[in-house]
A and B are shown apart, each in its own frame.
Chain A
Amino acid sequence: MHSEKRSREFYILAFFFTLFVLFLYGPLSTIFILSFQGPSGGLTFPMNGASLHWFSNLFEQQAVGDFGGSFRRSMILGLMTTTITVVVSLLAGLAFRRRFKGSTFLFYLAISSLVVPSILISLGIGLFFQVLGIRPAWWSSGLGAHLTWTLPFGVLIMFAVFNRFSPVYEEAARDLGANAWQTFRYVVLPMIAPSLIGVGLFGFTLSYDEFARTLMAAGTFNTLPLEIYGMTTNVTTPVLYALGTVTSAFSFLIIIIALTAIIIVGRRRARIG
């Protein structure tokens, strides 16, 4: 394993890993290719020429439902979810550094938020709002449903971060006369900033793609995944693939931005020392 010559095990596993990556990305790349299908092309190969026909089709309102509106809603909802997830996870992470009465219960509540099947959350929130007589909407019940999915990830990441966080830095800061806020702002926050960006990335992408928990909690107006799901039942043209390409490209863009930000923040910290 640590010998200089690669073992046979390495080559077998490398082959296996390559197959796995192909398995992950292969299907996605075919719809990427097929979304450039010519105007007379169908849902499968062969390509009947290449065009941007299905992309332009996507932006004609009547063709595929309310793509623009649902995209805008998913975008706003994603940003709301991200902000709340980052702030609440950070605060909870700080709280969990000490044991307090009910901390174990709260931790397991956060875990169960992941474990409880999504359709239950969806049904529960829908019924809860119905019983209270409040109209569900994407920005209220929908937001809550998304938070039950993003917050546990955020809390777990912060929990892991603070478990490995040595208190000596804070003690040093205090010895130098910093007050609690200064210690947090100038010592703790810069050190955990990359993890916070990670939490934000999870918050946004998980919310932007969330379907099962939103189903009954979104109210009248669809979010983008709900809109796409609706399309799968009645759209049989490559416009579906065009939509898949556009939203996936958007997801990739967000991931790249977040990773770049993490690298930049990390570099800057390394330079300052």
Chain B
Amino acid sequence: MTASTAGHAALNKVSKPMRPPRKIWRWSNLPLVSYLQAMPLALILGLFLLLPILTIGMVSFWDYDSVRIYPDFVTFNYTETLGSWVTWKIYLNTFKFTLIVWLLTLFIGFWVAYFLAFHIRSVTMQMVLFLVCTVPFLTSNIIRMISWVPFLGRNGLINSSLIELGIVPKPIEFLLFSEFAVVLAMVHLYTLFMVTPIFNTLMRIDRSLIEAARDAGASGFQILTNVIIPLAKPGIAIGSIFVVTLVMGDFITVRFMSGGQSASVGLMMANQISLLQYPAAAANAVILLIVVLLIVAAILRVVDIRKEL
């Protein structure tokens, strides 16, 4: 994406006068410094991410009874999990949630980001509205889930107004504690993960490209599908990774919003954990991790995220 067109502003921004790097000896040029600077991050992630995941892998081959777990090498944690039709059904259910929530958050997230990036003219206003969208992300997920109760409950706002208006004779039961409620809460919680990366990529689209497309006779719809969406793909990919992994591993939203009437992989694991069946939960965790990583790898084939930051 070169700024060869008339975009003077873009040109100024892109090519800051860069002097060729001078080779002067400085202690800060030693690779050792980089290693020292990266060390704390590597240590923390090694200790609290890498080793725990390896532990899960190890424990998934352990044996257990109702009280404790034993070091061993057994594979029945896997064969039992994979051999049970319940597992497959739960995975199917989880994929269903993932697909629905992904489509909804993508649709909402794209149009919100598009509105902010292309229709709000002042940068200050853009930032203010973006913050308005961001702030709920920084508050408690559980509180945000609880806050649906007065809306969706049997005597909640929606039901009482529907009855008052004479649209339904008695309260609709499926609003709260249902799969509908799960999807609603997930969209509520996770849309922001879509808005932010898409907004970020849309903001970096060179406006002269859109003008050029317009001058070449493209309609608004053609500009959207041939210019904007292709350039927004990296943001869409990053947002999709967030949403897909969050929904795939979710257990709290499913538990709370479905009132125990629906299942997900995360919830299945959480139940095994509460029954102290750690090796079974660990085998489930390994399977879930592989599935999630495969999805992420598939999305990453579309875009190299390191280039996009």
Residues of A whose CB lies within 8 Å of any CB of B are 1-2, 9-10, 13-14, 16-17, 20-21, 23-28, 30-31, 34, 42-45, 84, 87-89, 91-92, 94-96, 98, 100-104, 106-107, 109-121, 123-125, 127-128, 130-131, 141, 144-145, 147-148, 151, 155-156, 159-160, 163, 166-168, 171, 180, 201-202, 205-206, 208-209, 211-212, 215-216, 225, 228-229, 232, 240-241, 244, 247-248, 251-252, 254-255, 259
Contact = CB atoms under 8 A, between A and B. Distances in A.
A17 B56 contact: no
Residue among A1, A104, A159 with max Cβ neighbours from chain B (10 Å):
A1
B188 A151 contact: no
Grouping DSSP codes into helix (H, G, I), strand (E, B) and loop, the B interface class, with mixed when no group exceeds half, is: helix
A18 to B, nearest CB: 10
Interface in B83-122: 108, 111-112, 114-116, 118-119
Given A110-B41, A144-B44, A248 B143 contact: yes
B281 interface: yes
Given A24-B188, A100-B34, A127-B55, A209 B114 contact: no
B6 interface: no
A244 B147 contact: yes
Contact of B289 (A28, A84, A116): A116
B85 to A, nearest CB: 22
A215 B289 CA distance: 19
Interface in B1-53: 16-19, 21-22, 26-28, 31, 33-35, 37-42, 44-45, 47-53
* Most chain B CB within a 10 A radius of its CB, from A123, A130, A144, A229: A123
23 contacts: A13-B111, A30-B150, A43-B153, A91-B39, A91-B41, A92-B38, A95-B38, A106-B38, A106-B42, A113-B49, A116-B289, A116-B292, A117-B289, A121-B52, A123-B285, A124-B52, A127-B59, A141-B48, A147-B48, A202-B138, A212-B252, A244-B147, A248-B140
B256 interface: yes
A31 B292 CA distance: 35
Q: Counting chain A CB atoms within 10 Å of each CB, which of B37, B157, B250 scores highest?
A: B37
Per DSSP, chain A at the interface is helix
B38 A91 contact: yes
A30 B252 contact: no
B56 A45 contact: no
Nearest to B114: A13
A58 B234 CA distance: 46
Interface of B: 16-19, 21-22, 26-28, 31, 33-35, 37-42, 44-45, 47-53, 55-56, 58-59, 108, 111-112, 114-116, 118-119, 129, 131-133, 135-136, 138-144, 146-151, 153, 155-157, 160, 188, 191, 207, 210-211, 220, 241-242, 245-246, 248-252, 256, 266, 269-270, 273, 278, 281-282, 285, 288-289, 292-293, 296, 305-306, 309
Nearest to B119: A10
A225 B139 CA distance: 11
B249 A118 contact: yes
